[in-house]
A and B are shown apart, each in its own frame.
Chain A
Amino acid sequence: MTELLRGIVGMSDWRVWAMFCVGLALIWLAVKKEYEPNLLLPMGFGCLLANIPFSSAVGGGFLDVLFKGGITNELFPILIFIGVGAMIDFGPLLQDPEMLFFGAAAQFGIFFTMMLAVLVGRIPGITGIPGLKEAAAIGIIGAADGPTSIYVATRFAPGLLAPITVAAYSYMSLVPIIQPPIVRALTTREERMIRMENPEHEVSKTVKIVFPIAVTLIAGIIAPMSVALIGSLMFGNLLRESGVTERLSKAAQNELTSLVTILLGITIGSSMAGKQFLNPTTLLIIAMGLVAFVFDTAGGVLFAKLINLFRKRKINPMIGACGISAFPMSARVIQKMAQQEDGGNFIIMHAVGANVAGQIASIIAGGLILALVH
């Protein structure tokens, strides 16, 4: 009888109810608002499973097995990257390689937020951010790239993994709400109406094949810590571009990505146990994640405006905001904004170029942080 009643007795803990609300909110955001549903829905359900008192899914259950087998050893984010690589067409970036620098500029939020987290961690009474590793793991939310955030957080701050992941994926899904006001605040209407010519030259198949191999080797030699991330992304891209592994490329894009996303989502959700999740540090991380996205966007836009001071043919500074990664959401948002100002303005190719550059830059940022922070 006691065995039957202990679940009901466990419901007397307010944290159980609070985490049920969090889990249901994630499911609601996925179903009703369609914000990153493929991830938020499994996360929300995983959160419910983990917070049912005396749940057999955790505490040695299947979610613990998945956590040890896919998150602790960083397998799931790496597998996701193979799928992401197979989905990305680097063509627009290869046609207009200048876009790479917007990817670099828009990583500003990572480092701004990392410093902010360091300073917040110095405030007496705040114990959740004791050192640089935790601050770096929070800053990497600004990579606007879920797998990179998970990868760095797993290594540097496993105790903060759940709120960092929730913040990263939530803000990625909120890019259409976060970016437009910042872009409008930092640009004039004339700047937003700047038209950009599409690059006319084509890119050969050889370049598309050599590019992922060369990037892996160069990035790997410069920052060996980034090999797992950049290597898996570029491996997926090579499957796509080689032209001889179409079946594998399709499997990476569809079956592999779908399967790992299910497991990743529900496993991350299971790490949202009330005892660890409900504390002031979680709220701080959620707030600082937003700061990271805001300063990423600002960094990209302001860099574009700076470049324009020295150019005859001006760049639409909104392109800078696409360097935030969050592929392909950011490029879509900026194209939509350009058309709101001028219906005939098509900057999507440049936007996509900057967006995939942001994908590469965010991985490099993750690798550098892993290498430099001790």
Chain B
Amino acid sequence: MDSVVVDGLRISGLSYLLIFVVLGIFYGLIKLLLRIFPAKE
């Protein structure tokens, strides 16, 4: 297969996966913040 196509597939797959990872970290961050700083401070 064309190297550009292979690179494209690799980068697309990795980027899509990394978006979930980064937003997963943000999910954990929000959960943590909500626990540390509850609404009634």
Contact = CB atoms under 8 A, between A and B. Distances in A.
A214 B15 contact: no
A108 B9 CA distance: 13
A218 B29 CA distance: 10
- Chain A's interface size range is 35 or more
A115 B29 contact: no
B37 A364 contact: no
A104 B38 contact: no
SS of B interface (majority):
helix
A176 interface: no
B16 A107 contact: yes
B23 A201 contact: no
Chain A contact residues: over half helix, strand or loop, or mixed? helix
B37 to A, nearest CB: 4
Given A131-B4, A365-B15, A211 B38 contact: no
Given A206-B37, A210-B33, A365-B19, A101 B27 contact: yes
Nearest to A122: B2
Contacts of A327: none
Interface of A: 93-94, 97-98, 100-101, 103-105, 107-108, 111-112, 114-115, 118-119, 121-122, 131-132, 135-136, 139, 201-204, 206-207, 210-211, 214-215, 218-219, 222-223, 357, 360-361, 364-365, 368-369, 372-373
Interface of B: 2, 4-5, 7-9, 11-16, 18-20, 22-27, 29-31, 33-34, 37-41
